[in-house]
Amino acid sequence: MGDISIEQAFQTLRHMPGQSIEDACIDHHRGLRTGIPEVIYGESKTSKQIISIATAFLQQNTLFLATRVDPQKANLVRDVLPEISYHEQARMLTCNLHEHYSKQTRGDILVLCAGTSDIPVGEEAKITAQALGNSVTSHYDVGVAGLHRLFSKQDEIASASVIIVVAGMEGALPSVVSGICSCPVVAVPTSIGYGTSFNGISALLGMLNSCAPGLAVVNIDNGFGAACHASAINRKNTPDTLQDSGSTV
């Protein structure tokens, strides 16, 4: 392929990939490329739209995940597609969880929440990480106001493969956790708080400015994204291996 000109390459780039795509909306090959399947962002979709997309996924027997689905929408979807499960705290719909994308993992993912109000975000992270084939442990009230609660989980902190730390308000928990463990820590700011919490900006800034080096951060309330990053870290096989074995897709 080395002898084609850049002009030819550019023409190829222009015309090719779209030709075998029948449905612009669903990118069934995404899992192949990135190890993370296409996931439905439910907030701005009607139950009807979710049903229509879910039906397409179910026909392919691939993992179906939808985030930010409120109970009303979830009930309407499950009336039509009862094989779909709803996780109320996480506000997620899932199906075909056995279709794990990264079955071979390095260890366990630990999800820690600073307060009980952060649980929905923690659960979104947990369900997502499990759906992506990981074993997940969680503790949901271990904030810095009572550090002994955190230290009592020290063994699990020491043995985790990745830790997802979820916190609102001042967002200090990830700094503290990061200072007492050596595995990668993913910090998720939440919109919990009032006044100058500014719907999570305060927590986000606290995490981005952590004096504990090595903390990486995702968007406010983005438990899903944290789980995707943690899952990529926890995956044992490389992407190429995945694709080579992925010939039957």
Span 42-61, contacts to a second copy by CB under 8 A: 43-45, 49
Note whether 223 binds a second copy by CB under 8 A.
Answer: no
Near a second copy in 125-154, by CB under 8 A: 139-149, 151-154
Q: Decide if residue 35 touches a second copy (CB under 8 A).
A: yes
Binding mask 102-121 for a second copy (x = CB under 8 A): -----x------xxxx----
Assess contact for 126 and 136: CB atoms under 8 A. yes
Q: Pick the closer one to a second copy by CB: 47 or 202.
A: 202
**83 vs 208, beta carbon nearer a second copy:** 208
Minimum gap (Å) between residue 63 Cβ and a second copy: 13
Q: Nearest approach, Cβ of 39 to a second copy (angstroms)?
A: 7
Q: Nearest Cα to 38, choosing from 66, 2, 6, 70?
A: 66
Q: Which is nearer to a second copy, 95 or 157 (CB)?
A: 157
What 8-state DSSP symbol labels residue 105?
A: B
* Contact yes or no for 184/213 (Cβ under 8 A): no
User: One-letter amino acid identity for 220?
Assistant: I
User: In Å, how far are 31, 32, 33, 241, 242 from 246, measured between CA atoms?
Assistant: 10, 7, 10, 8, 6
Q: Please pick, from the candidates 54, 214, 223, 245, the single residue that binds a second copy as defined by CB under 8 A.
A: 214
In whole angstroms, what is the distance from residue 34 CA to residue 247 CA?
A: 15
CB of residue 135 to a second copy, shortest distance in Å: 15
Binding of a second copy by 17 (CB under 8 A): yes
* Chain position carrying tokens 């995940």: 65
Rule CB under 8 A: choose which of 88, 182, 223, 245 binds a second copy. 182
Please tell me the distance from the alpha carbon of residue 221 to that of residue 192, in angstroms, as a whole number.
Answer: 9
